[in-house]
């Protein structure tokens, strides 16, 4: 009998389009390989869909808020059906950039210095605060978005202008800007999958660089590192994966500067689109797209 896989994608986050693409690519590959697949939005009809379709496993293809922050995971736990990727606590911890940084620091994983910032109407003391704590340039970002949504590198001259673009968030994070190489490392289960280096044509690997093929980001694999440095990179990625209690696949984003790796964040729901990094890393190591999906599904069924 064919396994029934329910793919949940879409949602209401700012990453809806990416989620729909991930869901479409995963469903297409599963159908091609003989699975019985249904795609659903995470809306009020979800429980009816689950009841009628009776999936063996739920593939969570959601990205962003409500999809990878513990919210949908809380709902899926009530179904008692295995679902892919990380659970409630690890998802919520990884999505909160401030909480995850505190965990990194406590466990001696190097990460850029930062402080969280709540808006006031004037922001008049912000430049003084940054000069006292971090120095310019800095990175400003929401504490709970993915895919580099609303992330900006700011100088002293444009920080007040850029920060106004984040006024809809109650709290943001202001982070030390680390120059250097952008390297991403992937883990699946307890296995070190591999890494890739990115050389964006844009200022950094932002949303456009990630999902717009015209941005022409250069992907370098294998990463040009010494064996010692590469092993250290993968050890750090696996350490972060385990510290957060993650399961399935994760992608950790690093900056490599002056011989040191700085962990920026860990992503519990990396994209599975044609431009996504984890499938590219897997392919380089001889793991086809369907095999990668099966590994994710297997992890869901064995960790529930």
User: Alpha-carbon distance 261 to 231, whole Å?
Assistant: 12
Q: 42-72: string of b/e by CB count within 10 Å (b at 16+)?
A: beeebeebbeebebbbbbbbbbbbebbbbbb
Confidence of residue 217 (pLDDT cuts 50, 70, 90): confident
Q: Which of 253, 262, 276, 299 is catalytic?
A: 253
Looking at 29, 182, 206, 265, which residue is catalytic? 265
Contacts of 151 (CB under 8 A, 6+ apart): 139, 140, 141, 142, 145, 204, 206, 207
Residue 206: predicted pLDDT: 46
Among residues 147, 148, 252, 276, the one annotated as catalytic is 147
Instruction: Give domain 114-176's CATH architecture.
Output: 2-Layer Sandwich (3.30)
Question: HSE on the CB side for 28, CA within 13 Å?
Answer: 10
**Which H/E stretch holds residue 302?**
helix 289-303
Domains of the chain by residue range: 4-84, 93-110+180-303, 114-176
In this structure, are residues 155 and 101 in contact, taking their beta carbons and an 8 Å threshold? no
Q: Which DSSP helix (H) or strand (E) runs through 46?
A: helix 46-53
Rounded to the nearest 5 degrees, what angle is found at the Cα of 66, between the Cα atoms of 164 and 31?
125
Q: Which one from 9, 11, 15, 117 is the annotated catalytic residue?
A: 15
Split at pLDDT 50, 70, 90, the class of 214 is low
How does the average pLDDT of the chain come out, rounded? 88
Pairwise CA distance, residues 234 & 215, whole Å: 27
Residue with tokens 């694999």: 221
CB 283 within 8 A of CB 221: no
Mean pLDDT over residues 248-265, rounded?
96
Task: Return the structure tokens found at 148.
Answer: 């580099």
pLDDT over threshold 90, residue 245: yes
Would you say residue 211 has pLDDT above 50?
Answer: no
Catalytic-residue membership of 147: yes
Catalytic residue among 148, 252, 271, 299: 271
Whether 145 is a known active-site residue: answer no
Task: Convert the pLDDT of each residue in 165-181 to its tens digit.
Answer: 777 777 888 999 999 99
Q: Which is the catalytic residue, given 207, 267, 276, 299?
A: 267
Catalytic annotation, pick one of 211, 247, 248, 299:
211
The CATH architecture assigned to 93-110+180-303 reads 2-Layer Sandwich (3.30)
**Tens digits of residue pLDDT in 129-145:** 888 889 889 998 888 76
Q: Which of 21, 68, 251, 252 is catalytic?
A: 251
Q: Clarify whether 211 is annotated catalytic.
A: yes
CATH code of 4-84, in short, is: 3.40.50.20
- Would residue 267 show up in a list of annotated catalytic residues for this protein? yes
Q: What is the mean pLDDT of residues 218-231?
A: 96
> Does the annotation mark 286 as catalytic?
no
Give CA separation, 160 vs 65, 111, 122, 130, 134, in Å. 26, 24, 9, 11, 16
Query: Residue 266: enclosing H or E segment and its boundaries?
Result: strand 260-267
Closest CA to 198 of 277, 294, 298, 103: 277
Known active-site residue 247: no
């Amino acid at each position: 009998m064919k396994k029934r896989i329910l793919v949940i994608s879409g949602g209401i986050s700012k990453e809806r389009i990416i989620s729909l693409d991930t869901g479409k690519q995963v469903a297409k590959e599963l159908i091609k390989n003989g699975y019985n697949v249904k795609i659903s939005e995470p809306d009020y009809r979800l429980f009816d869909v689950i009841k009628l379709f009776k999936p063996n496993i739920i593939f969570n293809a959601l990205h962003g808020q409500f999809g990878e922050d513990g919210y949908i995971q809380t709902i899926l736990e009530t179904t008692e059906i295995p679902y892919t990727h990380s659970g409630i606590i690890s998802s919520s911890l990884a999505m909160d950039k401030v909480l995850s940084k505190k965990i990194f620091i406590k466990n001696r994983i190097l990460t850029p210095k930062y402080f969280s910032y709540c808006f006031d109407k004037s922001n008049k003391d912000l430049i003084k605060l940054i000069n006292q704590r971090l120095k310019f340039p800095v990175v400003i970002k929401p504490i709970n978005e993915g895919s580099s949504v609303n992330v900006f590198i700011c100088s002293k001259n444009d920080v007040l202008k850029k920060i106004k673009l984040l006024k809809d968030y109650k709290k943001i994070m202001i982070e030390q800007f680390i120059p250097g190489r952008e390297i991403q490392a992937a883990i699946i289960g307890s296995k070190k999958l591999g890494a890739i280096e990115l050389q964006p044509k844009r200022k950094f690997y932002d949303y456009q660089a990630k999902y717009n093929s015209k941005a022409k980001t250069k992907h370098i694999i294998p990463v040009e590192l010494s064996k010692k440095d590469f092993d250290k990179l993968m050890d750090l990625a696996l350490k972060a994966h385990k510290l957060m209690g993650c399961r399935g696949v994760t992608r950790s984003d690093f900056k490599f500067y002056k011989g040191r790796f700085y962990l920026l964040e860990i992503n519990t729901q990396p994209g599975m689109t044609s431009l996504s990094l984890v499938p590219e890393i897997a392919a380089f190591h001889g793991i086809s797209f369907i095999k990668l999906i099966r590994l994710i599904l297997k992890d869901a069924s064995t960790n529930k």
